[in-house]
Structure 1
Amino acid sequence: MTNILYMAGGLAGLVIVLYCVLRRQLYLNSDTVLFSVFLLFSWISAIAAFGISLSFFCSKFICAWMMILAVYYASRTVPDSVKLLRVSVLAISVADFLICLSALYHATQTLFIGISPASVVTGCFRNGRLCALRNANSFGFVCASLLFVSILGLVSTKGVRKIYYIVAAFLGWFCLGLTGCRTGAIGVAAALGIVTFSSGYRRFCGDKKDCVIFRYLSVTAAFLLVMILAAESFLLPKDIYKGLLDIFSQGTMIELRSRRILDDDGTFSSRTYIWASCIRSCFRSIRHFLLGVSTLSKETIGDSYSGHHEIMEAHAHNTFLEIMRIHGFSGLLILVALIVTWGITAVKSLFDREGSLGVSCLAACAAGILIIGIAEPVPLIYSSSMYLTIPFFMICGHFERLRREKA
C-alpha cells in the first residue's frame, strides 16, 4: 500500500472508531482504555526518541491501527455481528483469492519468460519457493489468510458459496504449499486440529460418565492426527505443480524446494539467535525496556550471528518480542492483557457444548494466527501482516462482544 492509501484508510478508520467509541459509549470499557494507553505510550516513545513531531500522527503505524480498530469496534457494535462476519469473510477471501491467483499466474509465466525486477512483487519462483509481495513468507501470510477465512466461510454459509469456499481453500492450500512457509502451514494445521478437538469434545465427551478418560484421549488423538496430516499435506502441491508443468509444458522442469515441518535446515536455530539478540537490545537502557525504540525508528537487529556483524534483521521473527522491541514492556503488557481477555472467552467457546461450530472455528483461526506469530511478526505488527491482522482483530472484536453479552 502507498502512503496515500494508508492515509485514506486511516482517516476512514478514525471516523468509524470515533463513532463507535463516542456514540456507543465504548470509552467506558476496559479494552478501549487499554488501546488508548497503548497508543499513548507509543507516542511517548516517539517523543523520547525523536522529539515532538506531527509525523507520528501521519505515520503508517497510526493509519494502520485506525483501520485495525475500526474493524475491531465494528465487530463489537453492529446490530447483526454474524452478518458482518459473513460479509467480511467473503470480502477478505475474494481479495486473497485474487492475489493468490495472480501471483501463481505470474510466477508460472516467469518460468518461460524469465524473472524481471517486478516479479518479486507480482510472483516468481526463487530458491525453489513461490514468492510474491517481496518474499515467500509475506505471500504465505496471504495464503494462510485465505485458508482461515475459507474455513470460516465453509461453516457459516450454504449452497453455491460453499463451492466457492472449497475452491478458495484449495487455492490457498496449493499456493501455501508452494511457498514453503512452514509457520503458515503449522498455524493452519493447528486451527484444523483445534476445530476437530472442539467438535469431538462436544459430541463424544459431553455429560456421559462412562469411559471418560478413553473419550478424552480419543478426542486428543484425533486433534493430533488431523494437525499432523494437515501439516504434511502441504508437501503435495509441489508434486502436483511439477506434474502439471511436465504435462502442459512438454517436460519443462523446475526445482521446487521441499520443506518438511521437522526438517532441521537451520531456520529454527537462526530464529533463536535473532530472539536472543532482540532480548539483549531491549535491556540496553530503561527507555528501551519500558518504551522501546518507537514506531518511527528504522533501527534493525544486529549481532545475532557470531562473526557476522554485518547481518541485520528487520524484525524479531516473533510478534511478542517485536512488540517489546518497538513498544517496550509497557506496550507488550497491554497487548498481552487484551489477548488474555479475548482468549479466555475463546477457550470457553471450544468447550461449550451448546455453542455453534462457527464460534469454535473463530477461536481456532485466532489461535492459528497467534501460533504463526511465534516465528513471524503477525498479527500484532502492522507492516507485513495486515492480511492476517484484519481477520484476527475482527475475530477478537466478536469475542469481546460475546464476553460483554455474557457478563
Structure 2
Amino acid sequence: MKWRRDIFSFRNRMLLIAVGILLGTLSLLYTNNMARRLREKEQHDVSLWAHAMERVNRDVMGGAMEDPLVADIMSNGNNIPFIMTNENLEVIRYHLIPEKVIDHPDRLRRAIERLTAENTPIPVQFWWSKNHYHIIFYGRSALLKSLYYFPYVQLLVITAFILLGFVAFRSAKHDEQNRVWIGLAKETAHQLGTPTSSLLGWVEYLRAQEVDPDAVNEMQKDLAHLMKIVDRFSKIGSETPLTPANINEVVGESVMYFRKRIPRNVTLDYNGLAIAPVRASINTALFEWVVENLMKNSLDALQGHGAIDVHISSDDKHVMVDVKDTGKGIPKGNWKRIFEPGFTTKTRGWGLGLSLSRRIVEEYHDGRIAVVDSEIGKGTTIRITLKRLFD
C-alpha cells in the first residue's frame, strides 16, 4: 500500500506542476497577444502622425509642426518615445528622450539605432521637394514594455507563492509527524512502565531463592537498561535539559553493557578509557540511546562476525564519537537516506532507529551525525559531532 501512496503522491505533484506550467503558458500567450495588439496600435498612431504632417504640408508649406492638430498629436500627452530628424539626421523634435542624449552625438546615434531596432522608422515626405523630408524614429512605450515583462513577473510571483505554500505544507506535515512521534513514544513508555515495575519485584523474589547470583545480577542489569529505555521514550517531545558530562564515561558505560551481549565472533574495541576525558553538554539517557543504536546497526551489518570500533577524538571546538564496523558497507547514494524515517535495508524493522538518532543529536544536542566513510564489503564509519566544553 505504501508504494501505491507514493505513486499517487508523485502523480499529484506532477499534476500540480503540469497545471502550473499550463497556467503560466496561457498567461504568457495572452499577455503576448495583448502586447502585440498594443504595439500595432502604437505603430498605427505614429503612422497617423506622419500622415497628418503630410496632409498639412500639402496645404501649408513648412507649417506642419505649427499646425494645432499635429502639435496635439505630437504633444507630451503621448507616451511613445520618438526622435524626429530631417534628411541629414539633424534633430527637429523629440519626446521622452533625455536632453543629454540629444546633445551628445554618440549617445544620439545609439538612441536612433535602438529606436530603429524596436520599430521601423517612418519617413514624412514633403510634396514640394523629394530631397527634403523628415524621419520619425520611435520606440515602445513604457506601458508596452511593462506588458512584455508582466508575464515573467507574474510567473515569478506564482512561483514564489508555490514555494511558500510548499514550505508551509512541509512545515505542517513535519509538525504532524512530530506529534505522531511524540505520541507514539509516550504511549510506548506508558505501556512499558507496568511490566518493568513488575519485573523489579520478580528480580527481588529471585534473589531470595536459590538462584545463581551472577544470573540475577545480569537480569538486574538488563532490567535497569530496560528502565533506561522507558525513560528515553518518556523524554521524547519533553523539555530535555542538557548537563555537562564526561563523554568518555557515558559512551564507556554503553560499550561495557553492549560488550557482554554480542556474539563471540564479534570484537568491540573502545579507546575512551585510555585517553584524557573530554566533556560536552548532553542528556545522558538520550545520548546513550544514540550510541547504542549505532552499535546495534554495526552489529547487524557484521552478520555474526567482524569488529566494531568505538573511537573518541576531539579538537579545540568539538568532540567526535566514531562508530566503525567491518560490515557490508553502505552505497554512497544512501549515506544521507539512511537517516530518513522509514528507510531501511533490513528485512525486519521500520527504519526508525537512525532517524531518531539524527533527531536526538541535531535537534536536542545541536550536533551533527553523518556517515563519514563507507565502502561496500569493507565497512562503515558513522560520526557524532558535539560542541566541546572546557572546565
TM-score range, shorter chain: under 0.3
Larger strand percent: 2
Structure showing greater radius of gyration is 2
Which protein has greater RCO, CA pairs closer than 8 Å, 6+ apart?
Answer: 1
Larger helix percent: 1
- TM-score (structure 2 length as normaliser): 0.23
- TM-score (structure 1 length as normaliser): 0.23
